[in-house]
Amino acid sequence: MSDLPVTAEAAALARPSAAGNLFRHARYVLAGNPVTAFSFLLLLFLIACAAFGPSLVPYDPQVSNSLRTLQPPSAQHLFGTDQLGRDILSRVVVACRLDLGIAFFSVALVFAVGGLAGVAAGFFGGWTDRIVGRLADTIMAFPLFVLAMGVVAALGNTVTNIVIATAVVNFPLYARIARAEALVRRNAGYVQAARLTGNGELRILLSTILPNILPIMAVQMSLTMGYAILNAAGLSFIGLGVRPPTPEWGIMVAEGASFIVSGEWWVALFPGLALMLAVFCFNLLGDGLRDIVDPQRRT
Amino acid sequence: MSASPLLDVRELTVEFATRRGTVCAVERVDLSIAKGETLAVVGESGSGKSVTSYAVMRILDRAGRITGGSVTFSGMALQSLPEVEMRDLRGREISMIFQNPRAALNPIRQVGRQIEDVLLQHGQATRTDAKARAIAVLEAVRIARPEERYHAYPFQLSGGMCQRIVIALALACRPQLLIADEPTTGLDVTTQKSVMELVTELTRKRGMSTLLITHDLGLAASYCDRVVVMEKGRVVETAAAGAIFRAPSHPYTRRLMRATPRPGAGLRDLLPEGAAPFPAAPPTGAPLLKVEGLVKEYRREGGAGFMARLTGHAASQAPFRAVNGIGFEVRRGESVGLVGESGCGKSTTSMMVMRLLDSTAGHITFDGEDIGAIPAQRFAASPLRRRIQMVFQDPTDSLNPRHTAARAISDPIRRLGTLRGSALAARVEELATLVGLPLPLLDRFPHQLSGGQKARVGIARAIALNPDLVVLDEPTAALDVSVQAVVLNLLHELKLRLGMSYLFVSHDLNVVRLLCDRVIVMRAGRIVEEGPVETVLENPAADYTRELLAAIPHPPA
C-alpha cells in the first residue's frame, strides 16, 4: 500500500495521453538505464543494416575473386576476405537481413501460435489446458537443438523450415508464460466485470485477457529473438537450413572455423562478432523492455 | 506522561525521490510514547502514518530518506545509529506486526520453528530449550493446543491465528516497543476483537509500549490511551483517546469522525456539509428476486489423497457446503444487506445470484424467471443479463487496466445495449455526471484515478443499463472513510432516483445499517437471522448477531 501523498491526480496531470505517457515513461527508463538506450541504438543499427545493407555494401557478397583470397583486414577490405576472395564486411552486412528475418518470423509465428494456445489453456482450463500442456511437455522432453535439427531434416532444407523449427522449439516457453499469465487473470475483477457486461468467454479471452498479457509477451519476444538468431545460425553452422554461397552468419563462422588454425582468424571472427552483437542486443533490449512494461516501476 | 518517553520523535521529515521530484511524505512530525503507553496514529491513506513507523524502524524503501528531525528510543538516536546496531534493535527492542499476517510468515516453515528462529537469532533461547520456549510463546498468544500447532504450517491456520503467530514472533524477545501497522485490517470483527484484546493485554502485562497504526477511529478509541491524527504527512492533533472523541479540536479530525459510520447517524450525517435530506423512499414493490433452497457444494480436494481414492474412501467424504440451503427475497426498490464473516458464504451467494457461479441445488427466481436454471457460462447471452449488475469490492481490480474510464462505462452498453456513436458518448457523459465523475477524467486509465474515482467508474458501469437489481459486494471496503461516506450517499441517491434494488454484501454492520432496509445475517452457509435492519441491529434475536455487534469497536459517542 502506498502511503505517499503522490495522488493519482497529480501524476495524471503530467500525462496527457496514453501514447505520450508511454513515450515519456520509455524516455524516463532509458535515461536512467543507458545500457537499454545503447541496446535500442544497436537495434536501430541492425535494422538499418537489414534494410539498406545490400544496397550500401562496397562489394557483391556472392562474387568470388581468386586473386584476393584470404586477405587480412585492410583499408580496401575492412574485415578481410574469405577463401574465395569475397569481401567479409559485405557478407556480414548482407547476412543481417536473412538472420534477423528468420528470427523475427519465427518469433512472430511462435508468439501467435504458442501465445494463443497458452492463453486459451490458462483461461479455459480442462481439456484445452491438458492438450496444450502435454504438447509443451512433449516438446520439452527433447534436447531443443536436436529437435530443431530433426524438424529441418524432416521438412526439408529451406529457410521457411528453419523458421518453423525455431518456432516449434520455442512453443513450450510461450505457451507456458501465456498460460500462467492468463491463469492469474482468469478470475480478476475486471474479467468478472466483463462477463457481467455481456461479453462471451471467447471475446473475454481475445479482448480482455490477451491485451493485458501482451506487454509481458513482448518482453519474452525480445529475449527469444536472440535465441532464435543463435538457433538459426547454429542450424546453418552444422549444414542445415541456409546453404552456401548465401551469406549467413552461421555458415560463415562454420566456413571460417577451419582457417583459424592456419592463422586466418578474421574469416570466422567478424561474422561471429556480428552474431554475438545481435544476440547481445536483443537480450539487453528484453531486460530494458521488462522495466518499461513493468507496472511496479511506473510510479 | 513520564519525563523521558520511551520513543521520542521530533520534527521527523521523510522525503521520497520520485521521477517528478522530491515528495515530502512526512513533514516535521512530533510524537512520543511513554513506557507502557498505547498510542494510536490515525489517518487516511496517504497521511504518512505508515511511513512514520517505517522511518522509526529505518526500513524505508530505497527512494525514501529521513531528511530531518530525530528519533530517540530510550536515549539512543536511531536516525544515526549504525545499521548493525539497528538490526540488533529490530525484533529485540522494537518489533513490528504488519497488515497481512500470512505474507509475514514463511509459508514453507512450521510456525513453531519460525518462533524458534527468532529466539535463537536474538540469543533468547538455546538449542535445547528453544522448543519449550516456542511452545510457551504460543501459549502466551492463546493458541489452543500449542504442542500441536507448533508443527502447523501457515496455510493450515486461519487469518486470525496467523496474526497471533505474527504477534508471538514480534513479542518472542520481549521488546519494549511494538509497532502494529493495521494489524486487523482484513480480519473479521470478532477476530479483530480477540487479536486487539490479546495485544493490549500482553502489552499491559509486560509493561510494553504499543504504537498502533490504523485508519479506524473506533479501533483507536477502544484500545489506545492517546491518539495522534495525521493528515497529508503532518500531525494535526494529539490528545488523550477520550478527549479527542469528546472534543475534537482540528477540523480534519472532526471531518474524519463525522464520516465514520456509527449508530445513530444517518447517511447524510456522514457528509461534511449539510446536504439536502433524501426524499422519502417509495414503498417497496413486488418481489424481484427470490432465492429458495440455494446450495453450493465444493468437493474437498485436500482430504481425498491418492491412497484414499485408491481405496475408495474418497467417495464417502461429504463435499463441503459453502452455502447450505438458504432462501430470501429482494423486493423492488428494496435494499437487502447480506452480512457475515469471511467464509460464511455471502460472497458465494452473491456470485450465484449474479450468475457468475453455478449453484448445486435450489432456485433463483428473478422477476418470475428461474435464472438459476441458466448455466453461468451462457448467462452472458441472456436478455436478463442487463437487468442484474454488480459493483465489485475492489475498484482497482475490477477495472481493466488497459481501458479508459469511458470505455469501462460504455462496455455494457456496447455489448448489451443499442446506443452507438455520439449517442453512446452522450450516455457515458450522462452516467459520469450522475455518479459525480468529472468529465475530463473519462479519458483516463484506472491507474490515473484515485480510489474514490475508480469506485464511481465501477458504479457508473453497473447502472449503465438501468438494471433492476444491483449486487454491491463490499463496494466501500477498499476506500477511506471520507470517500466511503460520499460513495454510500451516492449509492442511496441513485437507488431512489432510478428505483433499483440492492443486494448489499458486507461484513460491516454499521454500513449495512445506513444503506439497507432489511438485513440477512449468515453464518457457515446458513441464515441465522433475518429482518428489518433496525430490529436486527437494535434487538438481535440470534446470539451470533449479538456477538457480531459487540465486536465492533465504537468511538465513544
As a whole number of angstroms, the distance between CA B24 and CA A177 comes to 39
Grid cell at residue B465: 443499463
The dihedrals phi and psi of B523, each to the nearest 5 degrees, come to -150, 130
The CA-CA-CA angle for residues A164, A165, A171, to 5°, reads 85
As a whole number of angstroms, the distance between CA B457 and CA B431 comes to 9
pLDDT of B520 higher than 90: yes
- Confidence band (pLDDT; 50, 70, 90) for B257? confident
Grid cell at residue A59: 562489394
Average pLDDT over residues B301-310: 52
Query: Which of residues B46 and A217 earns the better pLDDT score?
Result: A217
Instruction: Report the percent of chain B where pLDDT is more than 70.
Output: 95
pLDDT of residue B416: 85
Lowest mean pLDDT among A197-201, B98-102, B270-274: B270-274
Q: How much is the mean pLDDT over chain B?
A: 85
- Confidence band (pLDDT; 50, 70, 90) for A175? very high
Grid cell at residue A42: 544497436
Residue at grid coordinates 520439452: A140
> What amino acid is encoded at A169 in this protein?
V
Segment B316-330, tens digit of pLDDT: 567 788 888 899 999
Segment B468-487, tens digit of pLDDT: 999 998 888 778 888 888 88
Using an 8 Å CB-CB cutoff, list residues of chain A that contact chain B: 1-12, 14-15, 17-18, 28, 188-190, 192-201, 208, 211-212, 295, 298-299
Long-range residue pairs from B473-476, CB within 8 A, at least 24 positions apart, any chain: B473/B347, B473/B350, B473/B390, B473/B391, B473/B392, B473/B393, B473/B505, B474/B393, B474/B505, B474/B506, B474/B507, B474/B508, B475/B391, B475/B392, B475/B393, B476/B511
pLDDT of B433 higher than 70: yes
pLDDT of A134 higher than 90: yes
Average pLDDT over residues B125-151: 85
Segment B180-231, tens digit of pLDDT: 988 887 778 888 888 888 888 888 888 889 999 988 888 888 888 999 999 8
pLDDT of residue B502: 92
**Residues of chain B contacting residue A193, judged by C-beta atoms under 8 Å apart:** 390, 392, 398-400, 408, 411, 458, 461
pLDDT of residue B228: 92
Residue closest to A8 by CA, chosen among B450, B395, B23:
B450
pLDDT of residue B342: 79
Partner residue opposite A198 with nearest CB, options B45, B380, B392: B380
Residue at grid coordinates 489446458: A129
Segment A18-52, tens digit of pLDDT: 566 677 777 777 777 788 888 888 889 889 888 88
Lowest mean pLDDT among A60-64, B44-48, B116-120: A60-64
3-state helix, strand, coil in chain A (%, to 5): 75, 0, 25
Average pLDDT over residues B375-403: 86
pLDDT of B522 higher than 50: yes
Distance from B127 to chain A by nearest Cα, in Å? 38
Q: Which residue of A has its CA nearest to B454?
A: A8
For residue A208, the 8-state DSSP code is I
CA A143 to chain CA centroid, nearest Å: 20
CB A15 within 8 A of CB A24: yes
Query: Would you call A1 and B381 a contact, using CB atoms and an 8 Å cutoff?
Result: no
Other Cβ atoms less than 10 A from the Cβ of B242: the count is 13
pLDDT of residue A216: 84
Grid cell at residue B258: 463525522
> What amino acid is encoded at B121 in this protein?
Q
pLDDT of B68 higher than 90: no
Lowest mean pLDDT among A3-12, B155-164, B260-269: A3-12
Partner residue opposite B394 with nearest CB, options A11, A14, A189: A189
Query: Would you call A212 and B401 a contact, using CB atoms and an 8 Å cutoff?
Result: yes
pLDDT of residue B549: 87
Burial of A17: CB neighbours in 10 Å, binned 0-12, 13-18, 19+:
exposed
Instruction: Report the percent of chain A where pLDDT is more than 90.
Output: 16
CB B294 within 8 A of CB B325: yes
pLDDT of residue B41: 92
Partner residue opposite B444 with nearest CB, options A5, A7, A12: A12
**Hey, of B234, B352, B398, B470, which one would you mutate to test binding to chain A, going by the most A CBs within 10 A of its CB?**
B398
**Residues of chain A contacting residue B14, judged by C-beta atoms under 8 Å apart:** none
CB B38 within 8 A of CB B32: no
pLDDT of residue A221: 86
pLDDT of A185 higher than 50: yes
pLDDT of B436 higher than 70: yes
pLDDT of residue A15: 39
ipTM for the predicted complex: 0.75
Average pLDDT over residues B413-441: 87
pLDDT of B2 higher than 50: no
Beta bridge partners of B70: B10
pLDDT of residue B478: 75
Query: Which of residues B404 and A294 earns the better pLDDT score?
Result: B404
The CA-CA-CA angle for residues B451, A210, B448, to 5°, reads 20
Residue at grid coordinates 545481435: A278
Segment B4-29, tens digit of pLDDT: 788 999 999 988 887 667 888 888 89
Query: Would you call B448 and A8 a contact, using CB atoms and an 8 Å cutoff?
Result: yes
Query: Which of residues B237 and B284 earns the better pLDDT score?
Result: B237
pLDDT of residue B313: 52
Partner residue opposite A1 with nearest CB, options B45, B392, B399: B45
Residue closest to B172 by CA, chosen among B108, B117, B109:
B117
The CA-CA-CA angle for residues B194, B196, B200, to 5°, reads 115
Partner residue opposite A198 with nearest CB, options B45, B385, B453: B385
pLDDT of A131 higher than 90: yes
pLDDT of residue A19: 63
pLDDT of residue B457: 92
pLDDT of A109 higher than 90: yes
pLDDT of A299 higher than 60: no
**Residues of chain A contacting residue B475, judged by C-beta atoms under 8 Å apart:** none
Instruction: Report the percent of chain A where pLDDT is more than 70.
Output: 90
Q: Which residue of B has its CA nearest to A4?
A: B46
Residue at grid coordinates 488523550: B240
As a whole number of angstroms, the distance between CA B55 and CA A276 comes to 47
- Confidence band (pLDDT; 50, 70, 90) for A3? very low
Instruction: Report the percent of chain B where pLDDT is more than 90.
Output: 12
Lowest mean pLDDT among B85-94, B166-175, B271-280, B495-504: B271-280
Residue at grid coordinates 472532526: B254
Average pLDDT over residues A56-70: 77
Segment A136-145, tens digit of pLDDT: 999 999 988 8
Segment A92-108, tens digit of pLDDT: 888 888 888 888 999 99
pLDDT of A292 higher than 80: no
Grid cell at residue B446: 484506472
